[in-house]
């Protein structure tokens, strides 16, 4: 792996780097991935179509999401997050595009972060547009459902969800302004990344000279779109991931390893 890291450093040396990160960078903080090492047993993810169409689906989401959010919020940035933040302070990186909704890059100290798939920190009313902090909605859920307790041995799933045993009797949170339907500020499966957000991604890529992918299998199309924008500009591409990815064939260098090991090593060589 040392040779791979040295090769990656040679590709990136003297360049302003844009980062694209995925679930693999957060598995070392205790947040599981959908696939690959550190993933949880597969379960059908919530789709936006199901969420909008069914009270039953919304109850399942909010019970699981509420319990998971309690555990999700205790996760801390790891060495990979901190290395990226340090490279920003050193002027080596132009910013981070992350597919994660955990907010760990911001908590690690990165300031130029585009949360491609949204964030668990916010909730919005789909009727009137009122915005809420997730903590305020958690308080409402607790008040309406005082019987809810965090079960022992919670199995946390990607995006801060758990598998609830039952949703019987659960009272959904609603907008305090218009009593409309609430939705977390995350991009569900079947939902598109907002166009204005992707324009920010394109501007970030345009301001950099190289792209480093860290901890993403690039199975989700939004990640491939970022790769395509970098390729159109002819940017060198480095990929750090435990398993092969969809974009390895285009990479100038690949490193098969944990982001928590590889990124601090690259930080030392580049900063």
CATH number of the domain to which 138 belongs: 3.30.1600
Q: Quick one: 236 and 139 in the same domain?
A: no
* Confidence at residue 184, expressed as pLDDT on a 0 to 100 scale: 95
d(CA 60, CA 21): 28
Q: Quick one: 237 and 141 in the same domain?
A: no
Q: Quick one: 64 and 153 in the same domain?
A: yes
Q: Where are the beta strands (DSSP E) in the chain?
A: 17-21, 93-98, 113-115, 118-125, 131-133, 182-186, 210-214, 237-240, 253-255
Q: Quick one: 137 and 7 in the same domain?
A: no
Q: Quick one: 129 and 111 in the same domain?
A: no
Q: Quick one: 103 and 234 in the same domain?
A: yes
Q: Quick one: 261 and 202 in the same domain?
A: yes
* Confidence at residue 146, expressed as pLDDT on a 0 to 100 scale: 86
* Confidence at residue 38, expressed as pLDDT on a 0 to 100 scale: 46
Contacts of residue 103, defined as CB under 8 A and 6 or more positions apart, other chains included, come to 115, 119, 120, 121
d(CA 227, CA 213): 9
Boundary-marking domain end, from 162, 186, 210: 186
Q: Pick the catalytic residue from 66, 81, 105, 117.
A: 117
CATH number of the domain to which 110 belongs: 3.40.50.1220
Active site residue 117: yes
Boundary-marking domain end, from 140, 155, 186: 186
pLDDT tens profile 190-217: 899 999 999 999 999 999 999 999 999 9
Q: Is 139 helix (H, G, I), strand (E, B) or coil?
A: helix
pLDDT tens profile 202-258: 999 999 999 999 999 999 899 999 999 999 999 999 999 999 999 999 999 999 999
Q: Quick one: 58 and 148 in the same domain?
A: yes
CA 51 centroid distance within chain: 20
Q: Quick one: 146 and 239 in the same domain?
A: no
* Confidence at residue 243, expressed as pLDDT on a 0 to 100 scale: 95
d(CA 44, CA 55): 17
Low-confidence ranges of the chain (pLDDT < 50): 35-36, 38-42, 152-156, 158-162, 164
Note down the domain range covering 172. 40-74+121-186
pTM of the model: 0.88
* Confidence at residue 43, expressed as pLDDT on a 0 to 100 scale: 56
Boundary-marking domain end, from 149, 167, 186: 186
Number of domains in the chain: 2
Q: Quick one: 141 and 58 in the same domain?
A: yes
Q: Quick one: 102 and 137 in the same domain?
A: no
Q: Quick one: 8 and 83 in the same domain?
A: yes
* Confidence at residue 147, expressed as pLDDT on a 0 to 100 scale: 80
């Amino acid at each position: 792996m040392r040779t791979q890291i040295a090769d990656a450093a040679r590709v990136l040396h003297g360049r302003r780097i844009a980062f694209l990160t995925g679930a693999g960078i957060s598995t070392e903080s205790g947040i599981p991935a959908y696939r690959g090492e550190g993933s949880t047993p597969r379960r059908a993810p919530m789709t936006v179509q199901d969420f909008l169409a069914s009270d039953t689906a919304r109850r399942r989401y909010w019970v699981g999401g509420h319990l998971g959010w309690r555990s999700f919020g205790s996760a801390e940035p790891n060495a990979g997050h901190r290395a990226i933040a340090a490279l920003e302070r050193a002027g080596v990186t132009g910013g981070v595009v992350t597919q994660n909704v955990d907010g760990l890059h911001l908590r690690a100290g990165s300031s130029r972060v585009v949360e491609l798939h949204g964030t668990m920190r916010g909730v919005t009313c789909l009727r009137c547009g009122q915005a809420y902090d997730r903590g305020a909605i958690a308080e409402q859920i607790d008040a309406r459902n005082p019987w809810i307790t965090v079960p022992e041995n919670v199995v946390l799933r990607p995006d801060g969800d758990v598998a609830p045993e039952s949703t019987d009797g659960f009272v959904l949170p609603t907008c305090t302004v218009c009593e409309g339907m609430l939705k977390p500020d995350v991009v569900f499966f079947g939902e598109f990344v907002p166009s204005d957000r992707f324009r920010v991604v394109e501007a970030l890529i345009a301001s950099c000279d190289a792209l480093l992918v860290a901890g993403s299998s690039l199975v989700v199309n939004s990640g491939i779109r970022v790769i395509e924008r970098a390729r159109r500009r002819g940017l060198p591409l480095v990929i750090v991931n435990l398993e092969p990815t969809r974009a390895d064939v285009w990479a100038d260098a690949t490193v098969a390893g944990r982001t928590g090991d590889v990124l601090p090593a690259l930080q030392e060589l580049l900063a």
